[in-house]
Amino acid sequence: MATIYIVRDPRNLVSSISNHYSKSLIDSKDFILKPRFIFGSGKKEQNEEKNNLKTLIGTWAEHYKFWKNENKNFLLIKYEDLVNDTFFELNRIIKFLKKFVQIDSNNEKINNIIKTTCFESLKQLEKNENFNENSYDNLVNKKDFFYLGPANKWQNILDKKIIYEIENALSKEMIELGYLK
């Protein structure tokens, strides 16, 4: 078994969760800090529906630690590094995958992957109705899946209390990952 794990600064996850699940920033902060059960699709956390699978979802830290410790064939990619130096990180992923599968790659193919999967391209696919992972506000209004992307800056979105709670609760893992010093 092999794992490629993409981790993201938990402070930046808060606004993404808020958008995707139509939650407040405080509820979104709790979403990554408190274990919870979800039922079925996960969009109806509060209501247990008959014949739906009940799943325990751990905290951001538990999720990270589980996958990090799951096996030795593990590649950690920080989302922020993937955004800032996509070519380098994609080459790391390809090199890792070549241990397990045959991959024919070259700079032209890598640049094409980057071009077709960049935030702007995916946002345009969504705009053209060629993306099916959107969520809905009150099950009616379609919400953008590709919301802020690289423009998501927790420093401009979160209040100091939320930042403190996240940094306090997740300090060990955030220091390990270089998100805190």
CA gap 79, 86 in Å, rounded = 10
Domains of the chain are: 3-177 (3.40.50.300)
CA-based diameter of the chain, in Å? 51
The string of pLDDT tens digits covering residues 89-117 is: 999 999 999 999 999 999 999 999 999 88
Q: For position 72, what pLDDT does the model report?
A: 81
Q: Which of 55, 65, 88, 84 is nearest to 5 (CA)?
A: 65
The string of pLDDT tens digits covering residues 30-50 is: 999 998 777 765 454 444 555
Q: For position 167, what pLDDT does the model report?
A: 98
Higher pLDDT, 126 or 58: 58
User: In this structure, are residues 103 and 94 in contact, taking their beta carbons and an 8 Å threshold?
Assistant: yes
For residue 28, the one-letter residue type is S
Q: Is the pLDDT of residue 134 over 60?
A: no
And the tokens for 30?
A: 């709790």
**b/e 131-152 (16+ beta carbons within 10 angstroms → b):** eeeebeeeeeeeeebbbeeeeb
Q: Which long-range contacts (CB under 8 A, 24 or more apart) does 147-153 make?
A: 147/15, 147/16, 147/19, 147/20, 148/15, 148/16, 148/19, 149/83, 149/119, 149/123, 150/83, 150/119, 152/12, 152/15, 152/16, 153/12
Instruction: Enter the pTM of the model.
Output: 0.79
